Amino acid sequence: MKTTDIIVPELIIFDLDDTILAYHAAIEPSMIKAFANCASIQPIPDTELLKHEIHDMAEWYWSDLERHRIGRADLRQARYEVITLALKKLGIVDDRYANTLATERARLHEEYIDLFPGAIETIKQLRSANYKLGMITNGAANVQNAKIDRFNLRDYFDFILVEGEIGYGKPDDRIYADALKITGVEAKKTWMVGDNLHFDILAAQQQGIFTVWNDHKNEGLTKDSVAIPDMIIHSITELPAILKGR
């Protein structure tokens, strides 16, 4: 799609994790550190193998929409379940270790999360250009709000909707309806920017919202992709130039 063909938005809605914050990038270092911190409880002869098993089990766990909904409401518990299953695959049954590792993983992951380079500067640019800005983020209220406050994001947005506060989240169509109602902006004049093809792209498209997929891992779309976004970017820092060159 040519930038000249794009309907200029009045409202741009952002996802938080892996759109503004580099959530995925914190997984590897936090896991390695958690293994080291918990080594005295249960020495693992092959942490690379355990890491692989945890990764595979996490892929399975988060692939189901209902498990995803339950798990994101309590990430520590979800990680405990994933770690317990991964350990069993290696013939290890140690509830104390699984609990401690899950707790340490949760703590370190949140600690290691940081802003994508240029994210705040981009949001400031869009704000100064008089676009209305919103945020919709899934997850527990305490976890998501802690990140929002840690990076002082509140002042940049006209509204922030957190799943754990209102009782539903993406891909529930009510949360997109809430966003449009708050701002009074029509769906066709709204952009949704996010990394999740199901929650951020497909769900928003079903409401008539223009969608921008943040392919931050440069993976590209698969042949069986659940959605085809209206636009693909690799960083939100691309947005000001795209909007300027419409």
Distance from chain centroid for Cα 119? 14
Residue 3: what pLDDT?
A: 46
Whether residue 135 is found in the same domain as residue 221: yes
Residue 223: what pLDDT?
A: 87
Residue 59: what pLDDT?
A: 93
171 upstream amide cis, omega within 30 of 0: yes
Number of domains forming the structure of the chain? 2
3-state secondary structure at position 211: strand
Question: pLDDT of 166-175, one tens digit each?
Answer: 999 999 999 9
Residue 246: what pLDDT?
A: 65
Residue 53: what pLDDT?
A: 94
Whether residue 28 is found in the same domain as residue 105: yes
Whether residue 15 is found in the same domain as residue 36: no
Task: Print the domain residue range for 212.
Answer: 3-22+115-244
**pLDDT per residue rounded down to tens, the chain (246 residues):** 444 467 889 999 999 999 999 999 999 999 999 999 998 887 787 889 999 999 999 999 999 989 999 999 998 899 999 999 999 999 989 999 999 999 999 999 999 999 999 999 999 999 999 999 999 999 999 999 999 999 999 999 999 999 999 999 999 999 999 999 999 999 999 999 999 999 999 999 999 999 999 999 999 998 888 899 999 999 999 999 999 866
Of 112, 147, 179, the last residue of a domain is 112
* Residue 184 backbone class (left: φ over 0; alpha: ψ -120 to 50; beta: rest): left
Whether residue 132 is found in the same domain as residue 14: yes
Residue 4: what pLDDT?
A: 43
CATH number at 146 reads 3.40.50.1000
Q: Is 107 exposed, middle or buried (0-12, 13-18, 19+ CB in 10 A)?
A: middle
Whether residue 35 is found in the same domain as residue 154: no
Structure tokens at 119: 């994210």
Residue 58: what pLDDT?
A: 94
Whether residue 144 is found in the same domain as residue 173: yes
200 and 192 Cβ atoms separated by less than 8 Å: yes
Of 64, 96, 112, the last residue of a domain is 112
